[in-house]
Structure 1
Amino acid sequence: MDFSQKVKDLAKRSTHATKSALTEEATKTSVVLPLIQAFGFDVFNLDEVVPEFISDVGTKKGEKVDFVLKIAGKLSVLIEVKPISMSLGSSQYSQLYRYFGVTDARLAILTNGRDIWFFSDIDEPNKMDKKPFFVFDLQSHDAGQVQELARFQKSDFTIEGILEAASTLKYTTAAANYIKKQLKDPDDEFTKLVGRQIYTGMLTKAVIEQLRPAIQASLDEVIRDRIQDKLNIAFRPDAPAVELKEKTVEPTGTQSEIETTEEEIQAFMIVRAIAGRAIDLERITMRDAKSYCSVFVDDNNRKPICRFYFNGKSTKSVGVFDAAKDEVKHQITGLSDIYGLEKSITDVVKAYAG
């Protein structure tokens, strides 16, 4: 079983535990021990996994860390577990912070069986950072996050590599969150920053309010241009061909009557680029029929994303499904209009992502 499949199994365990695991011990058994196994550690070998590790903290004696992971005999990772019914927060962080300062570990994990928070000492040596450098949600994640999680496997574990990745992830995540916030609603400081480059007068409050929607629109345009650049690369003569699934027989026509047009392929590539922000691109597939062209997750009829209705003489439309499989049709005048359906497409893809 490869690591991504192990994560899928863990996701199912976490979802089930949300309904059934009522205690911390139940969370450990149902999710955390399988997680440690997925990382490649032998949970039955005390030379690799030590439960209830005693860590004296100052005047407090007999304080216990839920699990300690050892590599080549060295204490490498601390794991503190909370019930899956409990949200992770500052009180749990404080407990793990105390443990971190009196051990040789450079990596600490705080988890409730759904959220997994990874800490190190990037800001100050031997002092656990106040914020996790990586957060993984077992019930909601994408392929890129699974790749980052794979770094913590025993076979790939090097403290130097972990710390380098931690530093990169910490600032990349912070920057991405900031940019996402500005894409949604540019704040005054960001609007001023851009405004100074495009406006020669004084940036009064009225001017800032006038510039804000223009800056937000320009950010949307940049994102569209980046996606279009990727599509242009995909349609180069030397680019790999898009694989179209033909194994399903649609009731709307025979295979000999079906012609997949260049316009349908381009629309598929736009949807694929949008959906690729939430799910592995390879999971997005297309099947053509006589009356419409369908896009699915995992080539699965039960996971429809949208349909292209491009065969009409005067009008074209895109039908987007929701998680309940209800379809809403949107008339379009050009392929660029599909970008305006980004939220609906992303929402339904996320619903199928597990």
Structure 2
Amino acid sequence: MADFLEQIATLSTRSKVAERQALTEEATKTAVVLPFLQALGFDVFNLEEVMPEFIADVGMKKGEKVDFAIKIDGKIAMLVEAKPINSKLGETQFSQLFRYFHVTEARLAILTNGREAWFFSDTDEPNKMDKRPFFKFDFQNYDNLQVQELARFQKGCFAIESIIEAASNLKYTRAAASYLKGQLDAPDDDFIRLIGRQIHDGSITKAVAEQLKPAIQAALDEIIRDRIQDKLSITLRGDPPAAKNEPAPEVEEPELETTDEEREGFMIVRAIAAKIAPIERITMRDAKSYCAILMDDNNRRPVCRLYFNSPTTKNIGLFSADKVETKIRVDKPSDLYKHTGAIEAAIQSYLGS
């Protein structure tokens, strides 16, 4: 696996160079796509394994060509369609691949522009390519778990049935995760009503839904925090004590990137606090899903939270006197000034303690 990780790291560098220099589809194939197929263990110079410009006649259309047909034991295992690295992968891009899929024995198809690779199968209907990829790999932005998923497609361990099973699981897991993440950021009315019917007696009117929304958001956040804490507790309890004179293994901390908007939000909260408290007491502690603004760097003294990581929505979390959090949608960090009263009230509650 270490060798494969190294190969993918090299491929990542190639992709970045190609993004600056490769202007055509052919250049993208040479710079990234062929090295990618090599990394998966296929001999790109052997026509028994990698067949370029594979002809796949589709109905009345004769001479339709797929960029590459990948063969294992003489049978077509995957189809690969390449696009220029400066193009965006999308519906118009894979209509060709969709047509090719059902006239070959392949059950896997890859659409790539040298920056991303999208993997398709026929999990919805046999011999008909799904409209959505079950797995996407970004050559320039990935983690080790994604590389492990990618390793499934290596020639040496290629097993189509297990790949299809994993594809089905991945597709539904990621669809559910995407939906739930959206609800965590900004729950819609249907989601509020779904939960509301379990916790409220009577009709869920618009007014009732608005009343329940902050409580449901706070409950979701609490569940996530509790699950994280439970996992941490299990890990700590399960670790055997270090042997005598044996140094404890280093724990790799997850990388966090504090964004410019989070820093701006932090400075705005400090500016608000300056009226009533020394600004040195207002601190910032970044986390994966939010950036916490605390009093005295104490997570029991939350001032507010900045939920600025979503590419589509921004929220701030404000705390009541009993530390119940309410999320409020904002457009930009300066909108924090609109909530000066709530921020000051949170800070004031800690000044006497």
User: Could you say whether these structures have the same fold, taking a TM-score greater than 0.5 normalized by the shorter chain as the test?
Assistant: yes
Q: Would the aligned equivalents of 1:318 and 1:332 in 2 still touch at CA under 8 Å?
A: no
DSSP 3-state at the match of 1:116: strand
Q: Would the aligned equivalents of 2:108 and 2:120 in 1 still touch at CA under 8 Å?
A: yes
5+ residue gaps, structure 1? 246-281, 286-294, 298-313, 322-327, 348-354
Deviations 1:71-130 (A, max 9, x none): 011111000000010001112211001110111111001111112111111111111111
User: Cα gap change, 1:12/1:330 in structure 2, threshold over 3 Å: closer, same or farther?
Assistant: farther
Normalised by the length of structure 1, the TM-score is 0.72
Residue 120 of structure 2 corresponds to 119
Residue 131 of structure 1 corresponds to 132
Q: How does 1:195-274 map to 2 (within 5 A)?
A: 195-236=196-237, 238-239=239-240, 243=248
Distance apart, 1:148 and its partner CA: 1.0
Residue 67 of structure 1 corresponds to 68
Distance apart, 1:244 and its partner CA: 6.8
Q: Would the aligned equivalents of 2:293 and 2:303 in 1 still touch at CA under 8 Å?
A: no
Output the CA distance in 2 between the equivalents of 1:112 and 1:237: 44
Output the CA distance in 1 between the equivalents of 2:249 and 2:281: 25
User: Cα gap change, 1:296/1:116 in structure 2, threshold over 3 Å: closer, same or farther?
Assistant: closer
Distance apart, 1:283 and its partner CA: 4.3
User: Cα gap change, 1:138/1:342 in structure 2, threshold over 3 Å: closer, same or farther?
Assistant: farther
User: Cα gap change, 1:125/1:318 in structure 2, threshold over 3 Å: closer, same or farther?
Assistant: same
Give the partner amino acid of 1:197. Q
Q: Would the aligned equivalents of 2:135 and 2:170 in 1 still touch at CA under 8 Å?
A: yes
Residue 91 of structure 2 corresponds to 90
Deviations 1:55-82 (A, max 9, x none): 1111211111101110011111000000
Distance apart, 1:15 and its partner CA: 1.5
Distance apart, 1:41 and its partner CA: 0.6
Q: Would the aligned equivalents of 1:114 and 1:137 in 2 still touch at CA under 8 Å?
A: yes
Output the CA distance in 2 between the equivalents of 1:179 and 1:83: 34
Q: Would the aligned equivalents of 1:117 and 1:134 in 2 still touch at CA under 8 Å?
A: yes
Residue 147 of structure 1 corresponds to 148
Residue 35 of structure 1 corresponds to 36
Q: Would the aligned equivalents of 1:233 and 1:239 in 2 still touch at CA under 8 Å?
A: no
User: Cα gap change, 1:337/1:176 in structure 2, threshold over 3 Å: closer, same or farther?
Assistant: farther
DSSP 3-state at the match of 2:126: coil
Q: Does 1:163 align with 2:127?
A: no
Q: Does 1:9 align with 2:10?
A: yes
- Is the radius of gyration larger for structure 1 or structure 2? 2
Residue 332 of structure 2 corresponds to none
User: Cα gap change, 1:339/1:42 in structure 2, threshold over 3 Å: closer, same or farther?
Assistant: farther
Deviations 1:213-252 (A, max 9, x none): 111111111111111112212332744669576xxxxxxx
Q: Would the aligned equivalents of 1:224 and 1:339 in 2 still touch at CA under 8 Å?
A: no
Aligned length: 280
Output the CA distance in 2 between the equivalents of 1:238 and 1:128: 45
User: Cα gap change, 1:171/1:34 in structure 2, threshold over 3 Å: closer, same or farther?
Assistant: same
Residue 334 of structure 1 corresponds to 298
DSSP 3-state at the match of 2:78: strand
Output the CA distance in 2 between the equivalents of 1:202 and 1:173: 32
User: Cα gap change, 1:48/1:338 in structure 2, threshold over 3 Å: closer, same or farther?
Assistant: farther
Output the CA distance in 2 between the equivalents of 1:205 and 1:339: 30
